[in-house]
Amino acid sequence: MVFRQLFDSVSCTYSYLLAGRGGGEALIIDPVLDKVDRYLQLMRELDLRLVKAVDTHLHADHITGLGALRDRTQCITVMGERSRVDVVSMRVTDGDRLQVEGIELEVIYTPGHTDDSCSFRMADRVFTGDTLLIRGTGRTDFQNGDARAQYESIFGRLLRLPDETLVYPGHDYKGDTVSTIGEERRCNPRLQVKSIDEYVELMHNLKLANPKMMDVAVPANMKVGLQQQEIARRGWATTAEEALGIIGQPDVVLIDLRERAERERHGTIPGSVHVPYPTLPESTSAGGMLYVLAKSAGKRLLFYCAFGERSAMAVQAAQDAGLRACCHLNGGLAAWKAAGGPIVQ
């Protein structure tokens, strides 16, 4: 396994690069915009292909690297279902499993620091974002923070993990890099409370100044969505209303780029073919399924995903691979549902 804890000294943020093996698919947690060149260099050196970039929550103290990594690697951006960002490729919720080759993260919804905070558990360790820090906990006084919810997230969820579980936080300001659940239960001063009310009282009396970057970072981090106008300008976008008129036509094939779990949870457009986004390079190259459909069978490909990000990148990749008769569903399944499009479960 490849596991790298990377540090941004300006915001004291930890980012984590994970992969099942050298030469395989990689996932990064909480990347920082200023460090994107460094991550890309490291991934080249380790021969890793970035497939997913994940933020544990909407950050207030640094600008996320999610958008830049997507633009430069065509990776899938992931955040919690409750995040107020404009667009990410995939939204996850409690109990979901986030996968890349050889790696599986279990999503634990842990609101409190913000209402979109998630932790991610992988085998012997948990990435706690700003919910549980080493000898501290994330502040709860802005961005829909809620000390009561945080108490439940920490005492009701994280501290129920085995004591030996390694804790990898989103930040550290003292130089610590890792702890364990048992160690935090015993030694974290914020957790030595006798009741939820005592915790809430403690958190309400911290009187912290706002993060220096907050006024810049929060608005920037809410607008990470892919600029899809260029795709539309080239005539490669179809609105949900237009798509309603053309599905069922014999020369059109709908291609669902989402993962199996997303299909099971949110349903699919009737008659669509499943081609998960990460398999696109092989599917669009000579002999691949999409290549054959488009080139030999003369079909028009209509890509869709959850919100239109993966499909916008897919249409570009397909066009680059020489598959000209393809477009994507603007706004994805969310727009389709809003337009009253039929769904099968």
Which residues of this chain interact with Fe ion, rule CB under 5 A? 130
Taking the complex as a whole, the smallest distance from the CB of residue 30 to Fe ion amounts, in Å, to 9
- By C-beta, is 42 or 142 nearer to Fe ion? 142
Taking the complex as a whole, the smallest distance from the CB of residue 76 to Fe ion amounts, in Å, to 22
Report the distance separating Cα 321 and Cα 285, nearest Å: 7
- By C-beta, is 58 or 255 nearer to Fe ion? 58
Taking the complex as a whole, the smallest distance from the CB of residue 13 to Fe ion amounts, in Å, to 9
Q: Which two tokens stand for residue 108?
A: 């634990």
Taking the complex as a whole, the smallest distance from the CB of residue 247 to Fe ion amounts, in Å, to 42
Nearest alpha-carbon partner for 53 in 68, 41, 66: 66
Taking the complex as a whole, the smallest distance from the CB of residue 129 to Fe ion amounts, in Å, to 7
Report the distance separating Cα 1 and Cα 165, nearest Å: 17
Q: What angle do CA 228, 261, 300 make, to 5 degrees?
A: 45
- By C-beta, is 133 or 327 nearer to Fe ion? 133
Taking the complex as a whole, the smallest distance from the CB of residue 113 to Fe ion amounts, in Å, to 6
- By C-beta, is 57 or 310 nearer to Fe ion? 57
Taking the complex as a whole, the smallest distance from the CB of residue 66 to Fe ion amounts, in Å, to 14
- By C-beta, is 169 or 332 nearer to Fe ion? 169
Nearest alpha-carbon partner for 72 in 37, 105, 101, 46: 37
* CB within 8 Å of 317: residues ≥ 6 apart: 74, 280, 281, 284
Report the distance separating Cα 171 and Cα 254, nearest Å: 43
- By C-beta, is 11 or 99 nearer to Fe ion? 11
Q: Is 184 exposed, middle or buried (0-12, 13-18, 19+ CB in 10 A)?
A: buried
Report the distance separating Cα 96 and Cα 94, nearest Å: 6
- By C-beta, is 115 or 130 nearer to Fe ion? 130
Taking the complex as a whole, the smallest distance from the CB of residue 171 to Fe ion amounts, in Å, to 7
Taking the complex as a whole, the smallest distance from the CB of residue 91 to Fe ion amounts, in Å, to 18
Sheet holding 252-256, edge to edge: 237-238, 326-329, 300-304, 252-256, 273-274
- By C-beta, is 138 or 288 nearer to Fe ion? 138
Q: Give the chain's radius of gyration (CA, Å).
A: 21
Q: Which residues pair with 343 in a beta bridge?
A: none
* CB within 8 Å of 137: residues ≥ 6 apart: 112, 113, 131, 150, 154, 188, 190, 191, 203
- By C-beta, is 130 or 256 nearer to Fe ion? 130
Q: Which residues pair with 49 in a beta bridge?
A: 25
Ranked by CB distance to Fe ion, the top (closest) residue is 130
Contact predicate 52/78, CB 8 Å: yes
End-to-end CA distance of the chain: 36
